[in-house]
Homo-oligomer: A and B are copies of this chain.
Amino acid sequence: MKLLITGGAGFIGARLARTLLARGTLAGRTIERLVLADLVPPGAALLADARVQPRVGALREQCAALREERFDGVFHLASAVSAECEADFDLGLASNLDSTRALLDALRAAGNAPRLVFASSVAVFGSDPALPLPPVVRDDTLPTPQSSYGIHKFICEQLVADYTRKGFIDGRSARLMTVAVRPGRPNAAASGFLSGIIREPLTGLEAVCPVAPETAVALASPARTIEGLITVYEAERDAFGGRTALNLPALTVRVSEMLDALEAVAGAQARERVRFERDPNIERIVGGWPSRIEAGRSLRLGLRPDVDFRSIVAQYIEDHPASIITRRQA
């Protein structure tokens, strides 16, 4: 089978690609070709796999060619991130809304109704002043996005549902949770500290936590996130249930519990590298995110949240051994 991952060189996209290549099959079929479309080429390890074909460039510009090409399945992950969308309103609409519509129209033109998993986001949820978010967010909770990024994701969910209803694609929207622990350098995202307060201390660096220790957040590890995308892809249409987006499972954890886990795995010295320096702006943003997710339909597909945050820290250490300072070294 021939698969397309948009955003295939990003953190989630590349990890999904590695996982798919290692499995060799998807929904019972052998993966012969894996096209990774992104603004940049994927890493050397992915490029070395003969099944991988990189396509570098803006997705919207790639879509004309996609009309002539038939994919069996698509994971649509490409997206401008929230900070970009807030900084440049038009870029956000073009990158997220116009590109998705161009992709859906290309798949429709191809005519084989491919299966498509759209990576939506927990960012569709936000607290509208008139309709505050309920304490627990469920699959039937009304999203009231409070960012352009969340608006775009929610709009694309609607397009995926309608193209599916019309039989143009077999689309499924899955809302990804905040993924931690992400590798790499600190970034400007409001959620960045949720990875940073673990990743930096493990490499011997200091990290700043901008919210109170009792702040609760909903997280998923990279492995569980990839598992979610693949499970949603492989689900029978009836098992997915309807055409409405589903929430992937999330572990609810307090920042203090995250640091407990860091200390349990890497020692008190690691925890001491985290300094609390509250940032009202980030506290307000993070406070608007749902911290408790009831992912009913995901659970029925057999998906589960991470068992605890300690296992998430252990997963990060296992995935990135070279970047870790052990207790002895520290």
A123-177 interface with B by 8 A CB criterion = 128-131, 139-146, 148, 151, 154-155, 158-159, 161-162, 165-166
B144 touches A142 (CB 8 A): no
Residues in B with CB closer than 8 Å to A131 are: 139-140, 241-242, 244
Q: Tell me which of B142, B240, B243 contacts A142 (CB under 8 A).
A: B142
Kindly provide the distance from the CB of A144 to the nearest chain B CB, expressed in whole angstroms: 5
Please report whether the interface of chain A is mostly helix, strand, loop or mixed according to DSSP. Answer: mixed
Can you add 11 more A-B contacts, CB < 8 Å, to A151-B161, A154-B158, A155-B155? A128-B242, A128-B244, A129-B242, A129-B243, A131-B139, A131-B140, A131-B244, A144-B243, A144-B244, A148-B166, A151-B159
Give me 9 A-to-B residue pairs in the complex whose CB atoms sit less than 8 angstroms apart, sorted by A's number.
A128-B243, A129-B242, A129-B243, A142-B143, A144-B244, A148-B162, A154-B158, A155-B158, A155-B159
How many A residues have CB within 8 A of the partner chain?
A: 31
Residues in B with CB closer than 8 Å to A11 are: none
A281-321 contact mask (Cβ, 8 Å, vs B): 1 or 0: 00000000000000001000000000000000000000000
A30-60 interface with B by 8 A CB criterion = none
Kindly provide the distance from the CB of A243 to the nearest chain B CB, expressed in whole angstroms: 6
A151 touches B158 (CB 8 A): yes
A161 to B147, CA, bound (A): 10
**Interface assignment of A276: CB less than 8 Å from any CB of chain B:** no
Chain B residue nearest to A154 in the complex (CB)? B158
A155 to B151, CA, bound (A): 9
Kindly provide the distance from the CB of A214 to the nearest chain B CB, expressed in whole angstroms: 27
A61-103 contact mask (Cβ, 8 Å, vs B): 1 or 0: 0000000000000000000000000000100010000000100
Beyond A155-B158, A159-B155, whether A297 also contacts B130 by CB under 8 A is yes
